[in-house]
Amino acid sequence: MNSQPTVEPVSFSQQFGTSWNAFWFLPADGRPLAVIRILTAVLGLVLWSSYAADLQRWFGPDGVVSPEVMATWRRAYGVSLFDAATTAASLWAVYGLGFAAFASLLVGLGTPIAAPLAAVLWVSILHRGPMLIGPADDVLAILLWCLVIGRSGDHLSLDARLRRARGTTPPGPSVRNRLALSLLGVHASGITIAAVLAQLKGDIWWDGTAAWWLLSGREHTPASLMAAMAASDYLTNLLTHAITLFEIAFAAGVWVAGLRGSLVALGIVAWPLIGWLSGDLAWGCGMATLGLAWAPETVCRWSGSAGGKSLVAGPG
């Protein structure tokens, strides 16, 4: 009688270690990152355009943000390509280069060059006017640098079309893509945790009036919504606590495989709404884009992927 080999039980630490290594280093398909690239480029073009009207007034030779003013705000390690733009013409030239970089990123043309160029130019304009930075600006910077790490131009891009025209073999899954998606996912969860902690320090989030104060501070708030909230404390409390509960669920739930799909789908709607309520729609759209890094296989199939259980193969 042949004896059966003994199977050693796998410990929790071994299971966690295997899952954690897969989270960072399991090669990932580039199609999901291509979707994030397109949305990031759209957000980048919107935010970059917001500087156009006041570009010379802020950063021109006689602008409000002079080198002396900038020095009092900028950190010691801050550098900017805009520092070399000392004339109106050179300022517009550098600014126009930013438009070209974001447009190239959008269509996926020369992506290995467009991605780092867009990231450097975005950081440059933030360092040129550090007092103008908002939450959406920081989120866009995270998105751009993660796109530099990953191969976001391998799919849904002109680069891919040109590669097919040359008969080049399509690229396969890459560790770079996994690193980019995992970093995006960690930042999405981390920023959400920070938002929750900041809210829990304020009394208005505990007593349920935060939604009212957020809306009342906006310049253009629908009168019907304000009237409805004024007539019903329950509606105000519901909106306030729904925001906090969603953020808590998102921050923790995306680490649980069975909850990711629902939370990412909810986040596509919830994050822009939260951004709109707080007066920063761009930040909400950026958070929704970050959250896509956690999307499960349904998004992979929608974007043309051959498969994959999750864009970010997190523990659990």
Instruction: Give the residue carrying structure tokens 């906006």.
Output: 218
Other Cβ atoms closer than 10 A to 97:
15
Q: Whole-angstrom Cα distance, residue 191 to residue 200?
A: 14
d(C-alpha 207, C-alpha 45), whole Å: 38
Give tens-digit pLDDT for 212-261. 888 876 777 777 877 887 788 888 899 999 999 999 999 999 999 889 99
In this prediction, residue 7 carries a pLDDT of 58
Would 3 be classed as within a structural domain?
Answer: no
Q: What is the spatial distance between Cα 106 and Cα 141, in angstroms, rounded to a whole number?
A: 16
Q: Are residues 167 and 239 in the same domain?
A: no
Residue 178 to residue 23: CA distance in whole angstroms: 7
- pLDDT computed for residue 305 by the predictor: 43
28 SS3 class? strand
Residue 20 within any structural domain of the chain: no
| C-alpha R_g of the chain | 23
Q: What percent of the chain clears pLDDT 90, i.e. is strictly above it? A: 61
Last residue in a domain, options 113, 140, 172: 172
Asked whether the predicted pLDDT for residue 65 surpasses 90, the reply is no
CA distance linking residue 239 with residue 132, whole number of Å: 29
Query: Domain range holding 159?
Result: 30-172
Mean pLDDT over residues 43-57, rounded? Answer: 95
Distance CA 309, CA 171 (A): 19
Last residue of one domain, picked from the residues 172, 189, 212: 172
What's residue 308's pLDDT?
43
Output the pLDDT for position 20.
Answer: 87
Q: How do residues 67-108 score in pLDDT, each as one tens digit? A: 888 888 887 777 889 988 889 999 999 999 999 999 999 999
- The Cα 187–Cα 285 span in angstroms is 15
Percentage of residues in the chain having pLDDT higher than 70: 90
CA distances from 99 to 94, 106, 273 (A): 9, 11, 27
Tally the C-alpha atoms within 13 A of residue 201's C-alpha that lie toward its C-beta: 5
Domain contains 13: no
* In the predicted structure, residue 210 carries a pLDDT above the cut 50: yes
Question: Which single residue is written with the structure tokens 């295997």?
Answer: 18
Task: Look at residues 172, 203, 230 and tell me which one is the last residue of a structural domain.
Answer: 172
Tell me, yes or no, whether 82 and 148 share the same domain.
yes
Q: Which position has the higher pLDDT, 101 or 6? A: 101
Average of per-residue pLDDT values in the chain:
88
Q: How far is CA 43 from CA 118, 207, 295, in A?
A: 12, 34, 19
Nearest to 39 by CA among 254, 256, 299: 299
Burial (CB count <10 Å: 0-12, 13-18, 19+), residue 24: middle
What is the amino acid identity at position 120?
A: V
Q: What is the pTM of this model?
A: 0.88
Over residues 144-201, the pLDDT tens digits come to: 999 999 999 999 999 999 999 998 888 889 999 999 999 999 999 999 999 999 998 9
Kindly tell me if the per-residue pLDDT of 314 is higher than 80: no
Q: Is residue 11 part of a domain?
A: no
141, 41 in Cβ contact below 8 A? Answer: no
How many domains does the chain contain in total?
2
